[in-house]
Structure 1
Amino acid sequence: MTEHPTLSVRDVDKRLRLGGETIVILRGVTFQLERGEMTALMGPSGSGKSTLLGIVAGLDRPSEGSVMLDGKEIGNLSERELASLRSQKIGMVFQSYNLIPTLTALENVQLPLYVPGRNGHRLDRARELLDEVGLGHRLGHRPSQLSGGEQQRVAIARALIADAPLIVADEPTGNLDSDTGHALMDLLLGLRARRGTTILLATHNDSIAAMADRTLRMRDGRLVPA
């Protein structure tokens, strides 16, 4: 049997009603991501990148079209089903890290596993991942005690703890200097190579995008030739 892609997006539109007017944000977006592929998503502000990432991550729903994640259509799932899918199938990394300031690095990484039935071995797993991203010596540090690059490494470890097949990263290097940003990309590439994780990464940085397997470009809610 042929293996299905990690992600398949087909003819996705997104429209919003604003003040009696219909605003079209996404128009007929179609692409797929194969297993173990890292794809960069580029485009100017307002092109629809963040909306597309939100739909792919199950945080928003398309107005029309189909989104298949690991062979499962997600557009018609209930909110509870979507939450379960996100916890198992999607790791998310944000530009602003989104760490809980009162928790240590070790506690932040464990957060996705604090749900019924998924608590076994979470402590050992979190330690293993922090060691893998080079922070085995910073387990007890809170976000305010970590550099920007270290905080983003914690966020990546958190995204990986559920062994999700897809990581969705929205400008993960946007708050980092050039050297730290490229080091973070090297880390993601290494994790992808070892784990076969599929990564969809939004960025404004051409040199960051060049490190991906391919680049998708958006303009006015559409994918355009790279």
Structure 2
Amino acid sequence: MLLKTKSLCKSFARGKNSFFAVKNVEFSISASDFVFIVGRSGSGKTTFLNLISGILDPTQGQVFFEDEDILSMSDTAKSFYRNESIGFVPQSLAYLPNLSVFDNVRVPFFLFNRDGDSEGRALSLLELMDIAHLKNEMPQNLSGGEIKRMLIARALMNSPKLLIADEPTANLDKETSEKVMNLIKSVNKLGTAVLIVTHDSEILDENSTIYRMDAGELSIR
């Protein structure tokens, strides 16, 4: 098992009351799995992603990555876990505007000291995403679909075991959405586990595992 949660909960205070954004979630994903989580906005999907990424600490419950409890990690170890083991594609078009496409993709490589050919790795990822011809462009000159592909390449820079994509087709037309999804599927075929959070039913693959999140509770669809 690559990642699993046990009785995962996260509550927040709202005035004098509190509510559960994530409630008693049991979830697991294995190497090479392709998993979707669907649900309306506000159902707890993004909070769940922040919990399994170690960005948020749960109110109760546990998160295990390769049998290691990430909640017992130091802040530095959690940062290394996010940088090394998880590739995250955010919903927002988050990039460094003062860096080229090529250098944006290479950023995760330099967050921790490591050896290797960052230039060769970045170029191969840009080729995989079919945007190598844009490597010297500034991100703000790219289309929304091209930026998404750049963000996927960046998320894969350190060869993570799990790729997490939060609404990867948000604000994209149908043709571009299909291209982005085909690229993510090609990454999965290379052995990377994929977890996609979405409310776009058109991108769901019925051959994959599909969960539904509603009011913080997760169930198999």
**What TM bracket, shorter-length normalisation?**
over 0.9
CA distance in structure 2 between the partners assigned to 1:160 and 1:11 by the alignment = 29
Give runs of aligned pairs for residues 50-89 of structure 1, distance below 5 A: 50-89=46-85
- State the number of aligned residues: 221
Between the aligned partners of 2:179 and 2:207, the Cα distance in structure 1 is: 14
Q: 8 Å contact 2:80–2:112 — kept in the other structure?
A: no
Q: Distance in 1 between matches of 2:112 and 2:200?
A: 39
| 1:140-159 pair list within 5 angstroms | 140-159=136-155
TM-score normalised to structure 2 length: 0.95
Structure 2 unaligned segments of length 5 or more: list them: none
- Please say if 1:43 is aligned against 2:24: no
TM-superposed CA distance for 1:211, in Å, is 6.1
Alpha-carbon contact 2:87-2:156 (below 8 Å) kept: yes
CA RMSD of aligned residues (A): 1.4
> Match of 2:99?
103
Quote the residue 2:193 is aligned against: 198
Large movers: runs of 4+ above 3 Å? none
Q: In structure 2, do the counterparts of structure 1 residues 225 and 131 end up closer, same or farther at CA, with 3 Å as the change threshold?
A: closer
TM-score, normalisation: structure 1: 0.93
**C-alpha separation between the residues in 2 aligned to 1:78 and 1:136?**
37
Partner of 1:115: 111
Consecutive unaligned residues of structure 1, counting only runs of 5 or more, are none
Partner of 1:179: 175
Aligned to 1:209: 204
Residue of structure 1 equivalent to 2:125: 129
**Identity rate, percent:** 32
CA–CA distance in 2 between the matches of 1:139 and 1:119? 22
